[in-house]
Structure formats: structure tokens, C-alpha cells
Structure 1
Amino acid sequence: MQIFLSALNDVPDPRASNARHDLGELLVIAFVSVLCGSSSCSEIGLAPVSPDTQAVAV
């Protein structure tokens, strides 16, 4: 994961300087979520709890 974080940390952050979360970390989370099958922004906020459940909002 560190290789993705170091690569995505070079992306310029267009948000205000008071952004709450690091952009590189957000991009890694989005990237991994898409690799795991997320197809929309709202699905990135869903996390599977166990193989028996669909997903729950975090």
C-alpha cells in the first residue's frame, strides 16, 4: 500500500488548506475500493462486515 500512497501523495490538492483528511490517503481508499468492486462514491462508504452480510455504512 505504501507504493500507492507515495505515488498519490504527488497529486496536487485543490481543496482549501483546512481540509480535514489527507488527499493521498483518500485517493488510496478510493482506489482500493474500486479494485474491490465499488462502482460509485456512495459504495466507497460501505464496508463489508462478514461474508454473510452485504454491507453496512461506516
Structure 2
Amino acid sequence: MYVCVCNALNENTVREAARKSKGSQSAVKVYQSLGVKPQCGMCLCDAQNICNSEKSIQRAS
């Protein structure tokens, strides 16, 4: 599933980047780690939910 159409980022790409960026996992920082930035902003809520999910998984491990 595409999370960000403007930057062609799918859910797996965002999840992987969130896993790699330990610590502060804001959607904007994850996008920066991928070399892109939010364009229209419609994706930020979904991207942040993915980041939060990955952060919860890391804490539980």
C-alpha cells in the first residue's frame, strides 16, 4: 500500500526507515532519512501511525 503518493513511498519502505531511525521517530525525520520531504501532507497521519507502531514494537523487544 502506498503511504505517500507524492514521493512514491509504500508502507514497507516507511516501516523499514522507521526501524532504522532509532530514537525520535517522527514521520518528517523518517522522510528526511529517505531523502524526501512531505509534499501535500495527506500522508503524515498514516506515516506517523506507522512510526508509532514500529516504536512500540522496538520497546516491546
TM-score > 0.5, shorter chain as reference: no
Higher helix share: 2
Question: Under a length normalisation based on structure 2, what TM-score does the superposition of the two structures give?
Answer: 0.33
Structure possessing the higher radius of gyration over alpha carbons: 1
